């Protein structure tokens, strides 16, 4: 399969996915989903990758949503299949063992915001506009947006965004906790890389376990979630990296982790 719309690059320990279909503001059609799926598999196949950045190509958009032209004539059965496909690909992205960062500049609307929400952290440029405008098309978010937005922002704020369909600008997105930081457009990718490289310098097994317990624990009662944390904490004491990390601290030197 050609990578027409999804570019995957590796830079040292980092992977960078660019959804690059600027003529349609990077809208997610079936081909984009297939190419995203392949890119995720290629990242999984490179165990030395420590973090992933997801961004959009062109000046105007991160991703402006699902492809409206493609889905406009869909039957309910086709819509079900589209939603299942989008949810499945975003679930694979979310389930990556490595941390993922969405670098959002321009429009992140509908499926585009849902793509960002499937990442662990969202950074935005001053030009970002984020929202879920689906009700203006008389549909609802279908790639996990109603659920991830609600878990991230709480019901009230999520409902406001979903019911009105109005996008928020970057400053508002930061105020409500949708994005972590707002940067000048030219500073967005460098900042995301800086954060990704910092994460990449930490104990890789620990970072992966931290991601796993945060994610799995969010769906569990506190007592069970703490049990997950306890088990992961114990498992890490069986790794070479834990010995190295603590030895390096005591010897006042930088740790050299092996992901083992
Ligand atoms: N699907 C298909 N094509 C899209 C698109 C989308 N989501 N968003 C933009 N495009 C296309 C436009 O049709 C246009 O194509 P042509 O040049 O061939 O006419 C091109 O991208 C440029 O877009 P505009 O001319 O509209 O650019 P603008 O600057 O005037 O407006 C915009 C930008 C406000 C983002 C506007 O394009 C827009 O409202 N896009 C749709 C956003 C949207 O509703 N997204 C949600 C989709 S539904 C969804 O995602 C469902 C789900 O969860 C499963």
pLDDT digits (tens, 9 = 90+) for 134-144: 999 999 999 99
Average pLDDT over every residue of 243-251: 98
pLDDT digits (tens, 9 = 90+) for 193-210: 999 999 999 999 999 999
Domain 204-250 carries which CATH code? 1.10.12
How many CA atoms lie within 13 Å of 18's alpha carbon, on the beta-carbon side? 13
Gap between the Cα atoms of 247 and 211, Å rounded: 24
Q: Which tokens is 85 given?
A: 């496909």
Candidates 21, 61, 63, 68: which one to mutate for ligand 1, based on the most atoms within 8 Å of Cβ? 68
At residue 1, the pLDDT reads: 53
Q: Which CATH number does the domain 6-200 belong to among 1.20.1090.10, 3.90.226.10, 3.100.10.20, 3.30.43.10?
A: 3.90.226.10
Longest C-alpha distance within the chain, in Å? 65
**Closest residue by CA, ligand 1 atom 29:** 60
Q: How far is the CA of 118 from the centre of ligand 1 (A)?
A: 21
Mean of all residue pLDDT scores within the chain: 97
pLDDT digits (tens, 9 = 90+) for 58-91: 999 999 999 999 999 999 999 999 999 999 999 9
pTM for this prediction: 0.98
Q: CA 241 from chain center: how many Å?
A: 26
pLDDT digits (tens, 9 = 90+) for 10-42: 999 999 999 999 999 999 999 999 999 999 999
**Closest residue by CA, ligand 1 atom 1:** 67
Gap between the Cα atoms of 53 and 174, Å rounded: 19
Q: How far is the CA of 153 from the centre of ligand 1 (A)?
A: 25
Ligand 1 atom at minimum distance from 111 CA: 50
* Residues contacting residue 189 through CB under 8 Å, at least 6 positions apart: 53, 55, 103
The yes-or-no verdict on residue 2 having pLDDT over 80 is no
Catalytic site includes residue 35: no
At residue 176, the pLDDT reads: 98
Q: Which of 233, 230, 132, 224 is nearest to 178 (CA)?
A: 132
Ligand 1 atom at minimum distance from 107 CA: 35
Q: Which of 177, 149, 180 is nearest to 165 (CA)?
A: 149
**Range(s) of the chain covered by CATH 1.10.12:** 204-250
Average pLDDT over every residue of 106-131: 98
131 lines ligand 1 (CB under 6 A): no
**Closest residue by CA, ligand 1 atom 38:** 64
Q: Which tokens is 240 given?
A: 């070479």
Q: How far is the CA of 235 from the centre of ligand 1 (A)?
A: 47
At residue 246, the pLDDT reads: 98
113 lines ligand 1 (CB under 6 A): no
Contact between 130 and 153 (Cβ < 8 Å): no
127 lines ligand 1 (CB under 6 A): no
Q: Which tokens is 59 given?
A: 């000046």
At residue 98, the pLDDT reads: 98
Q: State percent of the chain over pLDDT 70.
A: 99
Of residues 9, 11, 126, 134, which has the active-site annotation? 134
Q: For tokens 């709480």, name the residue.
A: 154
């Amino acid at each position: 399969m050609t990578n027409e719309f999804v570019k995957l690059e590796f830079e040292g320990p980092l992977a960078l996915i660019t959804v690059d279909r600027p003529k349609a503001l990077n809208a997610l059609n079936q081909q984009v989903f297939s190419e995203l799926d392949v890119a995720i598999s290629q990242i999984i196949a490179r165990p030395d990758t420590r973090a992933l950045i997801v961004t959009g190509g062109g000046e105007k958009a991160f991703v402006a949503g699902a492809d409206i032209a493609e889905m406009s004539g869909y039957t309910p059965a086709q819509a079900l299949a589209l939603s299942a496909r989008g949810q499945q690909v975003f679930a694979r992205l979310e389930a990556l063992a490595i941390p993922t960062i969405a670098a959002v500049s321009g429009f992140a609307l509908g499926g585009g915001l849902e793509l960002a929400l499937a990442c662990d952290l969202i950074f935005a440029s001053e030009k970002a506009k984020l929202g879920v405008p689906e009700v203006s098309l008389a549909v609802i978010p279908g790639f996990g947006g109603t659920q991830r937005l609600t878990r991230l922002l709480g019901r009230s704020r999520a409902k406001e965004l979903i019911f009105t369909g109005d996008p928020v600008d970057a400053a508002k997105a930061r105020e409500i906790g949708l994005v972590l930081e707002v940067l000048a457009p030219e500073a967005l990718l460098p900042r995301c890389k800086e954060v990704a490289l910092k994460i990449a310098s930490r104990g890789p097994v620990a970072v992966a376990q931290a991601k796993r317990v945060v994610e799995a624990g969010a769906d569990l009662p506190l007592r069970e979630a703490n049990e997950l944390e306890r088990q992961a904490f114990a498992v890490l004491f069986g790794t070479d990296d834990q010995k190295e990390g603590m030895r390096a601290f005591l010897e006042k030197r930088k740790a050299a982790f092996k992901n083992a």
